[in-house]
Chain A
């Protein structure tokens, strides 16, 4: 945990990104959680954060920051050591503070509880503040906040690519193309569910989504010399970003899958046991 995601900071600082080694050998992998399941858990956790943020009427920047913090955390710690649902609440709680849009613990707990019940087609009645369930969720949130801060070395700075992306389009005189801007913006939102934001710096991500959006809008872009060089992006890295996006869209979380994904340690242990006996 000492040699982790942190190692950055200061100035108009770049984001904390993970090393190749960290990416290949995550704490969850060491705990025997298959990479494919980790991807699905990340995806689901971020989806829950996004939905919870909407219900809490948090601004997109808060939801985005929460998802990036969530992604970073699970490169430093294992899904087996920190319940996913608690970290959903904790990451949102921290991001709300970081982005100066603080939310009440009770509200976050209730929304997260509602989403869990809803995704599992269970009773969605709000929790009574005196029940054990509520108490557990609240405690889980506070534990998750602390674990998150410690794991990330209190480096809660998240540089998002949204404004960069808009600036780049402006610089190329493309900001008037509404559908292009909207498409690129949506890609940035969706990309939060993949590890892209902990693998690449914002300028790379911004260029990658512009490239992908332009391709879909069949908009020719200057290739000689390639336009992204102006923004110091690397073509190979952009390709990697778009690969993640492609896989995300090719294989989205279905309702059925979301219903069965393990949200805490007990469920995870059971899930792993069942899937190993299936094979």
Chain B
């Protein structure tokens, strides 16, 4: 049962209704803009109103168990939320036996914008984006919802500069007073906090805050701070920067299931300060350091993070409509397509063309273990590592 607050009733929306076969005529499909664990996401236009929407098709393969519980969970979560920083579900549509979720259309996602060659976030922009991200997370956590897949491609951005959380396919309800066992195999690898990598199954909102910390650094430096290619190397990456977990500052770490199995090979000191203190403003650095606390108990809540001096000291966050604007649609999906095209054309121009390799080569992005920070890489400022993006 959710919170007893009929006082906070929102006006009933008349848009929430169901479409039957007419969906085909009602929406004109404009193209694909995403590919989730779930199925494809399309951009479409409502022929009657001209409104742009995103259509997300629900895969119905597991018909053995009827309607997928994951889809039911996502619908219920979406229907129970109403916040400026959470994507809006307009309606559910049935078309030829498939179920589509009809969302408001957002022109960009953060992963896509990161791949934009001309966009360079400034401090005021990052503050504006992070504040919106934290507001969304605060709303979720207050309602008792964990997102569990914070990453750039799940943070949508509208032309007006509004940032909205999307993809609640992995989200779950939680109750602080009744911690239950969850799976630790959630959150896309690069944004997964150390406690999950060490096998924690009782966790709460802190896991989303780690992701917010990763996003903060990613916005400022152009790439995700920790980029492992499997769980072990992901931990290594984190240890190399943040230092190996210290039982003095994180006593519970020794009880984590895999702590003794995956002992750090060497004593890692934290180089977080020397790597980031010089390139970030003091406020940014302080907040990033808190969000990326190894001990989850030391991470601020979304609410505490919002109250951080970072947001009130100069330069103040810009307003959403002051964020840089760009032409066209910029989602992770399209930037992958662009990369694919580039790779195909370069492969074609190469003298030794390896046929049949395209499919796998586009997925891979060489991991640079040396982590050259802020080095200009205009060609591939940041490409998503899609082999790591499907949480199992």
Contacts and interface: CB of A to CB of B under 8 A. Distances in A.
Interface of A: 2, 6-14, 61, 93-94, 97-98, 100, 102, 105, 141-142, 145-146, 149-150, 153-157, 159-160, 162-164, 167, 201-203, 232
B357 interface: no
Nearest to A233: B6
A149 B14 contact: no
Interface of B: 1-10, 12-14, 16-18, 63, 65-67, 69, 72-73, 75-76, 79-82, 91-92, 94, 99, 173
Contacts of B94: 150
B72 A156 contact: yes
A100 B145 CA distance: 14
A6 B90 CA distance: 13
B13 A9 contact: yes
B67 A146 contact: yes
Contact of B79 (A10, A150, A160, A162): A10
A173 to B, nearest CB: 17
A148 to B, nearest CB: 9
B9 A154 contact: no
14 contacts: A6-B16, A6-B17, A7-B16, A8-B12, A9-B16, A10-B12, A11-B81, A12-B6, A12-B8, A13-B12, A61-B1, A105-B66, A150-B18, A153-B92
Contacts of A203: 6
Q: Give me the 7 closest cross-chain CB pairs, A-B, nearest first.
A: A11-B10, A153-B18, A11-B82, A154-B92, A164-B4, A10-B82, A12-B8
A98 B72 contact: yes
B17 A2 contact: yes
A167 B99 contact: no
Contact of A154 (B12, B63, B75, B80): B75
B16 A8 contact: yes
A168 B66 CA distance: 38
B66 A142 contact: yes
Given A7-B17, A201-B6, 6 more contacts: A8-B16, A12-B3, A13-B10, A146-B66, A155-B16, A164-B4
A163 B82 CA distance: 22
Contact of B65 (A12, A98, A105, A202): A105
A64 to B, nearest CB: 9
Most-contacted residue by chain B among A2, A8, A13, A162 (CB, 10 A):
A13
A162 B16 contact: no
Contacts, number: 106
Contacts of B65: 105
Contact of B6 (A100, A105, A232): A232
Contacts of B16: 6-10, 153, 155
A149 B67 contact: yes
A256 to B, nearest CB: 35
B218 to A, nearest CB: 31
A155 B17 CA distance: 9
A146 B76 CA distance: 16
A7 B66 contact: no
A65 B94 CA distance: 24
Contacts of A156: 72, 75-76, 79
Contacts of B14: 7
A200 to B, nearest CB: 12
Contacts of A153: 16-18, 91-92
Given A100-B173, A155-B16, A162-B1, A14 B6 contact: yes
Contacts of A155: 16, 79
B66 A93 contact: yes
B8 A6 contact: no
Nearest to B65: A105
B123 to A, nearest CB: 34
B12 A7 contact: yes
Nearest to A65: B1
Contact of A145 (B8, B67, B81, B99): B67
A43 to B, nearest CB: 24
A157 B79 contact: yes
Contacts of B79: 9-10, 13, 155-157
A232 B6 CA distance: 9
A156 to B, nearest CB: 6
Contacts of B72: 94, 97-98, 156
B18 A6 contact: yes
A46 B389 CA distance: 44
Contacts of A141: 66
B5 A12 contact: yes
A42 B290 CA distance: 56
A2 B19 CA distance: 8
Contacts of B92: 153-154
A164 B6 contact: yes
Nearest to A102: B69
A271 B71 CA distance: 39
Nearest to B12: A8
Nearest to B18: A153
A106 to B, nearest CB: 11
B384 to A, nearest CB: 31
B99 A154 contact: yes
A157 B6 contact: no
Contacts of A14: 6, 9, 12
Nearest to A154: B92
Nearest to A141: B66
Contacts of A154: 18, 75, 92, 99
A153 B100 CA distance: 12
